[in-house]
Structure formats: C-alpha cells, structure tokens
Amino acid sequence: MMRISAVIPAYNSAAYIAEAIISIVKQSYIVDEIIVIDDGSSDNTLAVIQGLSGNIRYHKQENRGPAAARNQGIKMAQGDWIAFLDADDQWTTDKIKKQLAGLTRYPELHLIAGDMTEIDEDNSVLTPSVLAKHQLLTGFIKDQGRPITDALSKLLHKNFIPTGTVLVRRDTLLAVGMFNESIHYGEDLELWAKIAAYYPISCLPEILMLRRLHNNNATKASAAMLIDSIEVMQSLRQTISLPLIQQGLKPDRLVADAYTALAYWYFNLKDYQRARQAAVASLYEALTWRALIYGLSACLPAKCLMILKKLKTLF
C-alpha cells in the first residue's frame, strides 16, 4: 500500500490554510498525513490548524523560506511519496487518485505532476489551464501520462511543473539533495531538473490544483529573480552537466543566457554599469550576439541610445 505525505509550507497563512488542508482531507484517495511547516508565522495560523480535523502534524521553525520549510517536511515525512501544496492553494478532489492511476500505468515514474487553474481571492477562475496558456497542453494530451522524452530539455525551455501538483518519491528527493535553500526564486525548477536528469517524470493533462493569485504571492519580474536564475543554471551546470549535454543543451550557454537576461533587465532600467557587468559575465561564459549588443549599447552615451531607440520604433 502506497503511503503519501502532503507537505504544506506556511507563513502567516491563516486566511487560506483551512481551505488548503480541507482540499487534502477531502481527497478521494486518503492521504496518510498532512505536515504543516510553520515558517515563523506571527498570525493565528496555528489556531486555524487546531480547529481542523485530519492527521495533521505541525512543526514551527524560524523563518527560513519555503525551500527550507519543504525540506523540513520531507525529512519529517513517513510516506514513501511526497506531495506538496502551498498554504493558499487547493487540490482538486481526485488529484491523488488520478496520479496513482498514472503511476499504475507507468510504474517507472519517479515524479508525476499536472495542470492547474489560477483563481483569485474569491475563488473566481482567472486562467482555466496554465498548460494551455503556455501552448503546452496539446503535447501532454498526446503523451497521456507517459514518461516525457527529453524532459530535462523541455523543463529548461519552460518549467511546466507547478510545485503544488507534484507527487514524487521521497527517496528520489533525498537522492538529489531536496530543495536548494540558497535559492529563493527558481529552487523548484532546479530540483525538478535534477530529478528529470536521471529519472522518468510525467505531467498529466488534467487540472490537479487551484492556484490562488493575490497581492502577497504575485510573481513579478525583478533583478533578484534573474540573479537567482543565474544561480540555478550554475548549479545545474555543476551537478548535471552530462545529462544536459546528452539532451542537446550547452551548460555554459545556459549560464550565459541567464546573465544576458539580467543585462537586458538592467539596460531597460538605464542602469548601464550593471548592464555592462552582466553582459561581460555572459560573454565570459559564451559568446552570443545578444550579450555583445547589450554590452556595447550600455557603453554608448545617453543621447546615442535615445536616437537608437527612436530609430527602432520606425522599423
């Protein structure tokens, strides 16, 4: 009998965590335990949890971020398989049942994820299918839950794995080192990539989760995200360089492209010094025209840049 542990990282989550836990308790396939890692909350998250039924294990720690919270949950878990859910999201009723059916068809899988719907604070649907939004749904419908060919390459093109849909073997998580706690943005992609490098994974073309979008969790592009993206690619180059090459990817180019994205960000902010620094770092990793253009452009006088931007709008 497969034992499943659900891990929920929580930080000041009193407003939504009851719905998250209830969505696990009401699963058509019973989850063996729900582990809530309270990451230093100062609200009444604990009081809300204490008012709920279910096999809930609660652990509070100082605030260290969601990666550290999930890792603590993995360490505490007694199940053979781990499922994740953020405290402001919800699973669909048959989430686990559908994944177990997929594992029955393809028992070689080590990780199985799925599609999600985005909702607002009032549970109204914003995006029915995130896979469809990114033009990925048709491909996964064709796959029908089979192990994904060249999954690592596809993941690094577009991360198609929402963390809250994941069901993954606990021993696999431990084997690849769990979540990288030094990375605040993209630590999920880094982990899924390390798993996909060595183990079969799949993504079901079915809605397994409702992800709530609100002001506190809105994903906004920032220099910090782009800097962490560089760290993600550097980590993958160091840990899974051979699988990357085997799937037609150039590890140095991945790092270079991450630096180029940062150079572009700084260039648009007119922070030309940092743009030059990022472009030079990119060119040090791999010679690309984009990095060269951003680096040279960032050296031009402001008036020249204004003229070039005006010309760009004419063509």
Q: What is the pLDDT of residue 277?
A: 92
Domains of the chain and CATH, by start = 4-212 (3.90.550.10), 223-314 (no CATH)
Query: Counting Cβ atoms within 10 Å, is residue 270 exposed (0-12), middle (13-18) or buried (19+)?
Result: exposed
pLDDT < 70: residue spans in the chain: 216-221, 300-315
Query: CB under 8 Å to 287, separation ≥6 — which residues?
Result: none
The 10 Å Cβ neighbour count of residue 106 is 14
End-to-end CA distance of the chain, in Å? 64
Q: What is the pLDDT of residue 306?
A: 58
Query: In the structure encoding, which two tokens stand for residue 200, read together?
Result: 């079969």
Distance CA 13, CA 313 (A): 46
- CA distances to 11, 77, 284 from 45, rounded to whole Å, are 8, 21, 48
- Give pTM, 2 decimals: 0.92
Query: CB under 8 Å to 202, separation ≥6 — which residues?
Result: 102, 106, 109, 111, 112, 113, 143, 145, 146, 147, 148
Q: What is the pLDDT of residue 49?
A: 96
Q: What is the pLDDT of residue 197?
A: 98
Q: What is the pLDDT of residue 297?
A: 75
